[in-house]
Chain A
Amino acid sequence: MSRSFLRPKCRTWFIGSVSVGTGSVALFAVLASSAPWSPGRFWGLTFGTLAAVVFVLDGLYPLRRRLMGWPFGTAQRWLQFHIYGGALALLFVLIHVGFSLPNGQFGWWLFGLTLWSVVSGLVGVWLQKWIPTVLASQLSVEALYVRIPEMADRLQSEADAVARGASDLLERFYSGEIRPSLAGVAPSWSFLVGLAGDRERRLTPFRNVAQFVSEDDQDRLKGLEAIVTEKFELDAQYSLQRALRLWLPLHLFPAIVLLGLLAVHIFAVLYL
Chain B
Amino acid sequence: MPTTDQPVDPGGNPLIARLPRYEPASIERLKTYPFLEQVNQRILEKLQPNLIERSYAPGDIILRLGDYNDAAYFIADGVVEVRISAVNAGSEDDPAPRAAPTPVTGARPQGLAARLRHIFARQPLEGAVQVGGRATDGTVILGDMPVGGRPGERVLLEPGEIFGELSALSRYPVSADVVACTQTRCLLIRTPALRMLLKQKPLASFKQMVDERYRTRSLSTHLRNVELFAELDGSIIAGLQRSAELVSFEPGAQIIEQDSAGDAFYLVRGGYVKVAVRAGPSQLAITYLRKGDYAGELSLLMDEPWPYSLFALEHVEMVKISRADFDQVVASHDTVRDLLWQSAVVRLKERGVALRSPVSAQYLQMAMDTGLIHGESVLLIDLNTCTRCDDCVRACADTHGGTPRFIREGTRFRQWSIPTACYQCTDPVCMIGCPTGAITRPIGSLEVTINKDTCIGCHNCVKRCPWGNIIEVPYSSPTINRDIELATKCDLCLGRTQGPACVQMCPHGSATRISFKDLETVTTTLSAEEMP
Partners in one complex: yes
Which residues on B sit within 8 Å (CB–CB) of A244? Answer: 387-389
A130 to B385, CA, bound (A): 9
Q: Which stretch in A61-69, A223-231, A261-269 binds the other chain? A: A61-69
Of A27-35, A73-81, A86-94, the one contacting chain B is A73-81
Cα A244 to Cα B383 with chains together (Å): 14
Interface range on chain A (Cβ under 8 Å from partner): 20 to 34
Interface size class of B (residues with CB under 8 A): 20 to 34
Complex-state Cα separation, A214 to B353, whole angstroms = 50
The reply to whether B506 and A76 contact each other, CB–CB distance below 8 Å, is yes
Q: Of B386, B505, B531, which contacts A69 at CB under 8 A?
A: B505
Please tell me if B507 contacts chain A, counting CB pairs below 8 Å. yes
Q: B294 → chain A, closest Cβ, in Å?
A: 39
> Could you say which residues of chain B place their CB within 8 Å of the CB of A145?
388
A241 interfacial contact with B, CB 8 Å: yes
A144 at the interface (CB under 8 A from B): yes
Interface string of B384-395 (1 = CB under 8 A from A): 111111010011
User: Are A74 and B408 closer than 8 Å at their CB atoms?
Assistant: no
Bound Cα distance from A3 to B532, whole angstroms = 7
0/1 interface trace, chain A 1-39, chain B, CB 8 Å (1 if under)? 001110101000000000000000000000000000000
Contact B508 A65 (CB under 8 A): no
Docked CA distance A143–B387 (Å) = 12
Say yes or no: is A133 at the interface (Cβ < 8 Å to chain B): yes
Nearest Cβ distance between residue A67 and chain B, in whole angstroms?
A: 10
The reply to whether B507 and A76 contact each other, CB–CB distance below 8 Å, is: yes
- Contact partner of B531 (CB less than 8 A), chosen from A7, A64, A144, is A7
CB <8 Å contact, A142 and B412: yes
A136 touching B383 by the CB < 8 A rule? yes
Q: Is the CB of A132 within 8 A of B391?
A: no
Instruction: Determine whether the beta carbon of B505 is less than 8 Å from that of A132.
Output: no
Q: Is B504 an interface residue (CB 8 A)?
A: yes
Closest chain-A Cβ to B306's Cβ sits at a distance in Å of 39
Distance of B505 from chain A, by nearest CB (Å): 4
* Inter-subunit contact B532/A64 (CB<8 Å): no
Report the Cα distance A75→B508, complex, angstroms: 8
Contacts of A76 in B (CB 8 A): 506-509
Q: Given A69-B504, A76-B507, 18 more contacts at CB 8 Å? A: A3-B530, A3-B531, A9-B531, A65-B394, A65-B395, A65-B505, A66-B398, A73-B504, A74-B505, A74-B506, A74-B509, A75-B505, A79-B508, A132-B385, A132-B386, A144-B408, A147-B409, A244-B387
Residues of chain A touching chain B, judged by Cβ–Cβ distance below 8 Å, are 3-5, 7, 9, 64-66, 68-69, 73-76, 78-79, 128-133, 135-137, 142-145, 147, 241, 244
Can you give 5 contacting A-B residue pairs, CB < 8 Å? A7-B532, A79-B508, A129-B385, A142-B409, A142-B417
